[in-house]
Structure 1
Amino acid sequence: MKPLNDAEALSVIKESITQIIPDADFTLVEPDDKFRDVLELDSLDFLSLIELLSERTGVRIDEEDYPELTTLSDAGRFLVDRTADRP
């Protein structure tokens, strides 16, 4: 997969969250809010999100990366950086 820009990364994140929580209301989530708290994702939902993001982007996401995926802006930056690192 090609490197993602900020808008593409955010779109992939939101689409993935919507697959897990179809009625997720992103108007409640500011870029620096902890989206797990605002959207009430439990740990199983979060693991499903990690799996979806990994499948959709081809980015390996390890447990030590989870703290980088707490806000929409951090998660987007993480995906942009990781997809840019690939050859």
Structure 2
Amino acid sequence: MSLIRSMLVELTGTPEYTEGIGDDVDLAASGIDSGDLVRLVLLIEERTGVEVTAEDMEQLTTIADYERFVAERNAGLPSGGA
């Protein structure tokens, strides 16, 4: 299970629902509410150290978008700390 998908399971408490969402399906259109999306961003920031701005959030609509975003930002982080 992907990092983002596992975070969505944690947030929604419904693995069956979350597993039924395709990687390229718009999360808001699939029934994930805006509060859960904000909580998802907070979890991403907390667990990965990747900052997600409001502008970033406007571009992130699918699980695949979030996965790519985190992977790209982690790839750009300097090793050895802040």
TM range (shorter): 0.7 to 0.9
TM-score normalised over the length of structure 2: 0.82
Correspondent of 2:70 among 79, 82, 85: 79
**SS class of match (1:19):** helix
Matched to 1:62, the amino acid is T
Structure 1 segment 51-66 matched on structure 2, within 5 A: 51-66=42-57
Query: Which consecutive aligned stretches of 4+ in structure 1 deviate over 6 angstroms post-superposition?
Result: none
Cα distance, 1:54 vs structure 2: 0.8
Cα distance, 1:22 vs structure 2: 0.7
Relative to its length, the structure with more helix (as a share) is 1
**SS class of match (1:35):** coil
Structure with bigger RCO (C-alpha 8 Å, 6+ apart): 1
Contact in 1 for aligned 2:23/2:64 (Cα 8 Å): yes
| Structure 1 gaps, min length 5 | 1-9
| CA-to-aligned-CA distance 1:28-77 (integer Å, 9 cap, x gap) | 22221102321x22211111111011111110111000033211111111
| Structure 2 gaps, min length 5 | none
Structure ID, larger Rg? 2
Identity across matched positions, percent: 31
| 2:29 equivalent in structure 1 | 37
TM-score normalised over the length of structure 1: 0.77
Q: Size of the alignment, in residue pairs?
A: 77
Aligned pair 1:23/2:14, yes or no?
Answer: yes
Matched to 1:44, the amino acid is G
Contact in 1 for aligned 2:45/2:52 (Cα 8 Å): yes
